Amino acid sequence: MDLKLTDEVAVVVGAAKGIGRAIAEAFGSEGARLALIDRDSAVADLAGEMSVKNGRPAHGFTGDVAEYDTMLAASKAVHEWFGRCDHVVYAAGMGSGKFGYPFWNLQPGDWEQVLKINLLGAVNVAHAFTPAMVAARRGTFLFIASIAGQIGSQTDPPYSAAKAGLINFAQCAAKDLALYQVRVNCLSPGMVKTELNRSVWQAWNSRQMIGEERSYEDWADDKIRRTVPLARWQDPEDMAAAAVFLASPRARNITGQTFNVDGGQVMHS
């Protein structure tokens, strides 16, 4: 299927690994030119690899989403490299690294960095890239949220609340930007084998009594059987397929929505 993304410019924030990397690869396979942003310096090498693989320009930019000036510099660099920006995907994220049930097992200080990366980082990126999209009167934003932001997950309240805030911000942005034909959506993964998912298990496992610990595989497989109607993992590539569709003209009337790619874990009427 030709999604008509050839030579479009896609910015993927949090592109060095996991879901962000899969999304970057999907845009590249559709013929898009890539700007990859991550605090991991390996993003520069990844951009070089993708450029060779896809035969299209790709640049890497190392920066922290929590620093607004750095995201402004990244936006400026993208426009210097390509002269435009068509799609921005925000895939940076982190959990607290602690088991949050009940919530008072955490400290208020456990919240700050989680909110800074998952929510305020997305706000920084949106502020940095929006003016050029408004001027061009075209473009898309996609924020990688989580089903945790819809169900009040007790596993990690700071992460859950941050993702809920991200979904709400995306709705606000979608309303503001509709006048300029810029679309804004969220994508909510379910159970995906990422470092973040594994950290949730690690935080849970570390609180178990001796002899009651479980391997990551057993813990995750049991959770999937109990909570996911399709009873299987989701893959980063599942998120990537949805991401490129939402950026494409085939989704031209979709904005302000949250798409769950979760095997049916969360269903809405």
Task: Report if residue 2 sits inside a domain.
Answer: no
| Rounded-to-integer distance, Cα 235 and Cα 44, Å | 24
Mean pLDDT, the chain, rounded, equals: 94
Are the beta carbons of 66 and 124 closer than 8 angstroms?
A: yes
If phi > 0 it is left, if psi is from -120 to 50 it is alpha, else beta; for residue 149 that is alpha
Task: Report if residue 200 sits inside a domain.
Answer: yes
The pLDDT value given to residue 11:
98
| Rounded-to-integer distance, Cα 232 and Cα 186, Å | 22
Task: Report if residue 96 sits inside a domain.
Answer: yes
Residue of 96, 113, 128, 256 whose CA lies nearest to 185: 256
Are the beta carbons of 153 and 99 closer than 8 angstroms?
A: no
The pLDDT value given to residue 268:
81
pLDDT per residue as tens digits for the range 212-233: 788 888 888 888 899 899 999 8
| Rounded-to-integer distance, Cα 226 and Cα 130, Å | 41
Task: Report if residue 99 sits inside a domain.
Answer: yes
Task: Give percent of the chain above pLDDT 90.
Answer: 80
Task: Report if residue 34 sits inside a domain.
Answer: yes
- Written in H, E and C, the secondary structure of 128-186 is HHHHHHHHHCCEEEEEECCCHHHHCCCCCHHHHHHHHHHHHHHHHHHHHHHHHCEEEEE
- Distances, alpha carbon 241 to alpha carbons 8, 56, 98, in Å: 17, 19, 31
pLDDT greater than 80 at residue 199:
no
User: pTM of the prediction?
Assistant: 0.94
The pLDDT value given to residue 221:
85
Q: Domain total for the chain?
A: 1
- Distances, alpha carbon 21 to alpha carbons 32, 38, 94, 142, 201, in Å: 14, 10, 15, 14, 22
pLDDT per residue as tens digits for the range 202-214: 877 777 888 878 8
Residue 256: CATH number of its domain: 3.40.50.720
Task: Report if residue 4 sits inside a domain.
Answer: no
Handedness of CA 27, 186, 135, 124 (dihedral sign): negative
pLDDT greater than 90 at residue 185:
yes
The catalytic residues are 159
Residue-range definition of the domain harbouring residue 91 = 9-261
pLDDT per residue as tens digits for the range 78-120: 999 999 999 999 999 999 888 878 899 899 999 999 999 999 9
